[in-house]
Structure 1
């Protein structure tokens, strides 16, 4: 006997819990590596390796043909003339610069639009930006498309990138803008360690001055640090100390001192003045992100 199922939907019933999203497929590894017990290749390539060059050249050629007007703009912005034959020779820094320029100057909708397969109209292909991202990731490039889709940046651990991006979004417009600029100057196609360091300092100043010295019109990170050190009895952290009560502001003072004293490029003409190193710039961007997040979320607070 057939079973009749009541398909009436109760409008007052709790909505069904949607199934969890499927887990991402495991990264593929060649048979020879799997057979010997190895997983996927994890090497990251700084330049353009041989196995990626054809795919990247093909991607650039497709974008050139799709938008001649944007190509003309890219040429005068890069101060360089490109011909179709150049596709056979673009390599290394030149190829990466062109890709970076296309991401910056091509219309976003053109790079994001899905495409129909030319022999099978029912097959939808991902847009150019997605295709490029898949090629860079799958090919082990140390470069990836940045968060706003308008350029390339050095690949950083996804969790670290997401945490920094969340801080940029949650912070004030001023602090978030400086932190985002610091990230780009540290990890973009053309790193500028001095700018990255300066923007990191400004990001913390923008977050700290309104909290610690709101009535000062001349507050700097150094003055904020000095106040927290000298008036430590007025401040506390939500992180408890050994006795279980809110901890002191000492960790914040230490981090601010590290950031402030390490900026050797702030002035010139002294025995210790110099350009910042790339590793210094990268380190302080993450230090600044931590301080901005703490200040925004009231991890540092005045004692009641």
Structure 2
């Protein structure tokens, strides 16, 4: 977590261990998060979207106050249901003008900031994702900044590189993680940047072909970073990183002992 506040007893005891993060919707977060959901739905028409996307029973929309019914919704068979509701509400808010005021005065941007504050102060394992359109698992600020720097660098080189990096992050840290999709988008992000540079005329450029090109032509390239002699370093490290990324994607083909 990015905050450094600690309760008095922890400070007095010199406790330095990272704070335990809370999964699902713990009791101490239930009231403020549900109140936030009611505020979001009272400002923007989002109840129908949530019910449709999460396939919620018709009793929600048929109730006297669908907003209040949804804000207090409980499903004992799915302890993550309310975090999923919040996730869909954020997706709905992302489709609105972030600076336009809702029916009760709150802007989408203000609502997202308020939710992120509640989740952070309450020690939730989740936070508003970097794209502001859903929840993801909480990551430290260094990783968050690294992602943004990588996305900006990729966007300068290719049209799709940054998009694939964002998709990879969402798949890795979303409330329903998908490691295979995260890895696949990571490979595509590298391909989006590397293929036009190293395989500009290839009809079917791939990460494997980039890897082979650099592996076979190590003497043709050098890095801006200098080695310990002060000369431009070779590209061995880059080739090994590409090898690791290429060999690590074990689920490209099914049926093998290491395909998952």
Give per-residue Cα distances to partners, 1:30-58, cap 9 Å, x unaligned: 33334444479722122222211111111
Task: Determine the C-alpha separation between the residues in 1 that align with 2:216 and 2:127.
Answer: 44
Q: Please report the RMSD computed on the Cα atoms of aligned residues, expressed in angstroms.
A: 2.6
1:146-203 deviations in Å (ceiling 9; x for gaps): 1221101111121221121122123222111111111111111221111111111111
Q: Provide the residue aligned with 2:233 in structure 1.
A: 247
SS in 1 for 2:6: coil
Identify if the C-alpha distance between structure 1 residues 88 and 174 changes in structure 2 by more than 3 Å, giving closer, same or farther: closer
Does structure 2 conserve the Cα–Cα contact (< 8 Å) formed by 1:168 and 1:180?
A: yes
Q: Counterpart of 2:127?
A: 144
Residue 73 of structure 1: aligned partner: 49
Number of equivalences: 240
Q: Where does the alignment leave 5 or more consecutive residues of structure 2 unmatched? A: 61-65
1:103 to 57, 69, 90: 90
Work out which of the residue numbers 62, 67, 81 in structure 2 matches 1:94: 81
**Structure 2 Cα separation of the partners of residues 160 and 89 of structure 1:** 34
CA contact (8 A) 1:144 1:155 kept: yes
From the superposition, tell whether residues 260 and 40 of structure 1 become closer, same or farther in structure 2 (CA, over 3 Å).
Answer: closer
Identify unmatched segments of 5+ residues in structure 1: 1-25, 118-125, 275-304
Q: Which has the higher strand share?
A: 1
**Which residue, out of 148, 151, 156, partners 1:165?**
148
Contact 2:43-2:105 at 8 Å conserved across structures: no
CA contact (8 A) 1:112 1:128 kept: no
1:180-219 alignment, distance < 5 Å: 180-219=166-205
User: Larger % of helix: which?
Assistant: 2
Inter-CA distance 30–241: structure 2 relative to 1 (3 Å threshold): closer
**d(CA) in 1 for partners of 2:188 and 2:73?**
42
Q: Which has the larger radius of gyration?
A: 1
Change (3 A) 1:209 1:193: same
* CA 1:58–1:112: 2 relative to 1, 3 Å: farther
